[in-house]
Amino acid sequence: MITFFVAFLVSLVVALALTWVVRERALAWGWLDPVNSSRKVHVQPIPRLGGIGIVVGFFAPLCALFLVDSGVGLQFRAQTDLIVGLFAGGAIIAALGLYDDLRGAGAKLKFSVQFAVALGLYALGFRIEVLANPFGAELTLGFLSLPLTMLWVVGVINALNLIDGLDGLAGGVAFFGVGTHFLLALMRGDVLLCLLMIALAGAILGFLVFNFNPASIFMGDTGSMFLGFVLAAVSIKTSSKSGTAVSLLVPVMALGLPIMDTLLAMVRRSLLGRPMFSADKEHIHHRLMSRLLLTHRTTVLVLYALCTLFMLTALGLHFANSLQSALLLCGMGVVMMVLMRKLGYLDMRNAGAVQQTRQRNQQLRTLVKAVTRAVREAGSLQEVWNALRPLATGMDAATQELRLRRPYEEPEAGVTFEAQRPEAGASAPLEVRVVVKDGDLLLGSLRLCWRDGRGTIDRDEELALEVVADAVAERTVELAHLESAKPARVIALRR
């Protein structure tokens, strides 16, 4: 127990100190999470590299085991597959998250790296080979073990990433998952898994000191993806060493909230015709705030309570027999159905509206895809504007305006393009303006105005405009670089 206490204390202190340092440096260097997106909940730019403190805080006591001559250290050094899997895989995932926080990483790059790391874990022996069935005999996966293991690892990584939407939420959810695995490992006498979980718990708490509402720093993808990776890897070890009839259901329940939120997001986006990897404000924490009118902090505390329920269910499944497990799962299912109904996920009265929204979103996606493709092929700012012209017609806007300037030009040196559609209505105007930015560099704005009587635009239209604005910013910077790279005119002088 002394080793556990020391590991917890070291990770806590390291995470506290490093998170503070990162916060101060991020503020000084401008590495902030902006507020120019409709998806953001915070109202001012906040540093987003707090995950560095979690990563280093977790590894600090584990690295010390290589230097300390102790029984626990000998056991740890003997577990080559565990060391290589966690250290190498964790470092790669943390590096991917850091790159995404600083530069931005596309979905293809993220999933390629995540699946490669998951494949590496499988090769090292992190495998899901049996599916438990509380209602009957267990199922041996055979050749399906590889794809299921990879899907589990990648799925948990992104589930923690998706739920990172409120101050203290992702860290708190991960802490409850860590607590569940720690207790399960402690009951089995698994010293190494206990050590891993107590180190991660200290790192999370050290970070939460600065992240709980009102947060002064975010963990970013560096922290959320790293937490997801460690929990995914440890949960495979937990399930493989469990002798219960519901071995894999225990870690599923331990991570019940992020898994449920991810599945709901996938179903929601599929039904509404939205891109599967698009962002929205319809997650469980968003609906708790909008439908139940809860404050930011109260929402997080309610979700902590829900995580506690998942944690108790997971621990109950560990000790229950098949019949008791079935009853526990049915009871938890009823609780989830009531919650989803309360949050409006199961409201069948909106089935017709869902179909209309799906058709409109499919048309909107086609429009945005065509517009962004044309923008990326534009050879001048005039052609960029010409590529944007179909937006007004496709979105029924009465007026469309683009203000744009090349990078590092004076604001007054920019150009303004404007088009009007008088036939689009004569009601009171609704105006929406989206900034065109390349990182922190303001390049202009895209403005649309409607006169068809609407009082607001929906989230899908808002997100579509942001995608278009990002494409305009990207092409504007590219055009500026192309112009600066053109060879200067050479005039030959003769005597």
d(CA 401, CA 414): 13
**Binding annotation:** 161, 221
Q: How far apart are CA 164 and CA 37, in angstroms?
A: 16
> Which pair of tokens denotes residue 215?
């947060």
Ranges assigned E (strand) in 43-195: 46-47, 130-131, 139-140
Which residue type occupies 25? R
**Is there a contact between 372 and 471 (Cβ–Cβ < 8 Å)?**
yes
As annotated, the binding site for Mg(2+) includes 161, 221
Determine the distance from the C-alpha atom of residue 486 to the mean position of all C-alpha atoms in its chain, rounded to a whole number: 40
47 Cβ contact list (under 8 Å, min separation 6): 22, 23, 26, 27, 31, 32, 33, 216, 217, 218
The answer to whether 197 and 311 are in contact (CB under 8 A) is no
Residue 207: name the closest of 160, 166, 176, 175 by CA: 175
Phi, psi for residue 135 in degrees, rounded to 5:
-100, 5
For 438, residues 6+ apart whose C-beta sits below 8 A from its C-beta are 407, 473, 474, 476, 477
Residue 269 phi, psi (nearest 5): -70, -35
Q: Show the tokens assigned to 364.
A: 């909107």
